[in-house]
Structure 1
Amino acid sequence: MKRLFIIALGITAGSLAFRADAQTSQRAANDKMRFGIKAGANLMKMGKVQFGDQLYSTDYRVGFQAGIYADLPMGGNFAFMPEATFTQKGGKLKETVSGNTGEFDSKVSYIDIPVLIGYKASPELTVFAGPQVSFLLDQKSTIKSNGNEIVSSSSKENFEKSIAGAAIGLGYAITPNINVNGRYTMDFQRAFKENVNQDKVKNSGFALSLGYTF
């Protein structure tokens, strides 16, 4: 019995020492200027689209994101965390009226530039928020009726070239190099130009990514 107690005590002490060493390594990493890469998926929608006199709420659309980021200590557990991320946004809609089914699907790609301020609540956990600007890359939108495509467009003419928005979220460092990041983003400005009758179309949604910090 005594031997089992000594073994258990040794395992516990070893686990605590390992955790303390990991936290020390993470604190040391948090004090350095660091850079990284990330990739993941998002769920985005476009708010409400108008067809005729009727407004329809769009559903979430799965997209891809990948980019680079920096983690620049500011002191007092705060950090400046700018990013540049390729992000697929857009939305989809499916409605059935009087036996006829209409479908709308839009995929719009942007380069997002978030300018984030992070607060390190613990060596592993970071809370962040800040403004972002999104720059339009390309888009493809289709409209179908009863499964048949009736309109397809890849023109960017009616889309705003840049949009102001914001992001808020959490980051968790699994190790000093590997982290996961979840956030909510929303645009403050409409996605279409003022001459287009779609003033309720604004991108918003959730993103989850895995990052590697060098």
Structure 2
Amino acid sequence: MKRIILALAIMTFCFLNAQNTKFGVKGGIQLSNLVGNVENETPKFGFQIGGFVEFKIAKRLFIQPEILYSTQGGKYERSSDDLVLKQELNSSYLNFPVMLKYYVIDKLSIEAGPQIGFLLDAKGKFEVRDGTEPLSYGSGSAKAVYKTENIGLNFGASYDFTKNIAAGIRYHSGMKNEIRYYPSGNFFDDPEQIRLRNNVLSISIGYKF
């Protein structure tokens, strides 16, 4: 509780110190991939959009909390003998990164920080094949196999083209398995639990007010 109060106090001070605070919006495209005990992972394109606040805390040092709507997911396979499970998952999150930014030179900054995300929705579709013969397939909600939140670390860089417009690139590495489930049906003998986490590469454009 003390840490929460301290964090709120620091943020309040930063808001009051308006000359060192900038608000902004950002959006961009991203490539996400599901990583875990599966095979033939294929990334999926998605997007992100949201806003941020940039607090100056030293000459070249800034803290930038953000709130982002993000679409993520991926495709993968899981095989056992002649059977192959093909799965595609699509999810949407409300993500809250908090980035520490350092300007190595004028206009060019590097950044790193934690992120927590909260699941909004998830859908999936699957197919089980025996060689070339389809045995089962389906689609629908996949929220039951997801955890309601995930955490990870972000690393990236950005460049300020003007005092208002900036572009950035960022890599998000999931730190915990956010997806856990056993393959459905009776096709796999003694199936192993599938465990996956999301890694995301994003490119964005931002505007500071």
Structure 2 length-normalised TM:
0.76
Question: CA 1:92–1:155 in 2, change beyond 3 Å: closer, same or farther?
Answer: closer
143-152 or 63-72, which moves further after superposition? 143-152
User: Which of 154, 170, 190 is equivalent to 1:183?
Assistant: 170
Q: Is the 8 A contact 2:178 2:197 kept in 1?
A: yes
86-95 or 110-119, which moves further after superposition? 86-95
- Matched with 1:84 is 67
Find the aligned partners of 1:155 and 1:181 in 2 and give their Cα distance. Answer: 31
- Matched with 1:198 is 194
The C-alpha deviation readout for 1:48-82, integer Å capped at 9, x for no partner, is 35xxxxx3142111011101011110013110111
Q: Is the 8 A contact 1:105 1:142 kept in 2?
A: yes
- Matched with 1:158 is 145
Q: Could you tell me which runs of 5 or more consecutive residues in structure 2 were left unpaired when the two chains were aligned.
A: 1-18, 184-192
Amino acid across the alignment from 1:166: L
Runs of 4+ off more than 4 Å: 94-102, 145-149, 193-196
Cα displacement (A) at 1:134: 0.9
Cα displacement (A) at 1:109: 0.7
Question: RMSD in angstroms over aligned alpha carbons?
Answer: 2.8
The C-alpha deviation readout for 1:61-106, integer Å capped at 9, x for no partner, is 1011101011110013110111011111110136899999864211
114-123 or 85-94, which moves further after superposition? 85-94
109-118 or 147-156, which moves further after superposition? 147-156
Amino acid across the alignment from 1:171: S
Q: Is the 8 A contact 2:39 2:77 kept in 1?
A: no
How many pairs align? 178
Aligned-residue identity in percent: 25
SS state of the match for residue 206, structure 1? strand
186-195 or 164-173, which moves further after superposition? 186-195
**1:29-44 aligned within 5 A:** 32-44=20-32
Structure 1 length-normalised TM:
0.74
Q: Could you tell me which runs of 5 or more consecutive residues in structure 1 were left unpaired when the two chains were aligned.
A: 1-30, 50-54
Q: Is the 8 A contact 1:63 1:89 kept in 2?
A: yes
Cα displacement (A) at 1:147: 10
- Matched with 1:10 is none
Q: Is the 8 A contact 1:47 1:57 kept in 2?
A: no
* Rg comparison, structure with higher value: 1
The C-alpha deviation readout for 1:24-60, integer Å capped at 9, x for no partner, is xxxxxxx7310111111100101035xxxxx314211
User: Which of 151, 156, 172 is equivalent to 2:159?
Assistant: 172
Find the aligned partners of 1:173 and 1:185 in 2 and give their Cα distance. Answer: 21
Find the aligned partners of 1:207 and 1:121 in 2 and give their Cα distance. Answer: 21
SS state of the match for residue 75, structure 1? coil
